[in-house]
């Protein structure tokens, strides 16, 4: 298998894998929407990480940090918008 698509095609032949993968489609769609928004805004991953680290430290120090994570910390939501970056 030369790449991820080949691997995925092979794994999708397993019905248990296919069912589990299809159940995750809504989460994959959210993640892809976040990636697309970042790219269309011209923001690099490096810049987002720097801002998240800064905001995390700042909010933790002020006691205003409110973060909800989902899917074992794959993504996190916080009270900021793309213009904050």
- In this predicted model, what pLDDT tens digit does every residue of 8-49 receive, in sequence order? 999 999 999 999 999 999 999 999 998 899 899 998 888 888
Average pLDDT (63-68) is 50
**HSE-CB for 30 with a 13 A CA cutoff:** 9
CA distance 11 to 26: 19
Q: What do you get for the CA distance between the two ends of the chain, in Å?
A: 39
Report the DSSP beta bridge partners of residue 68.
77
């Amino acid at each position: 298998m030369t790449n991820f698509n080949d691997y995925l095609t092979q794994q999708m032949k397993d019905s248990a894998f296919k069912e589990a993968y299809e159940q995750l489609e809504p989460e994959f769609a959210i993640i892809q929407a976040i990636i697309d928004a970042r790219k269309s805004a011209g923001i690099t991953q490096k810049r987002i990480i720097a801002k998240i680290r800064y905001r995390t430290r700042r909010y933790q120090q002020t006691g205003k940090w409110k973060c909800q994570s989902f899917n074992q910390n794959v993504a996190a939501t916080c009270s900021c918008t793309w213009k904050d970056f």
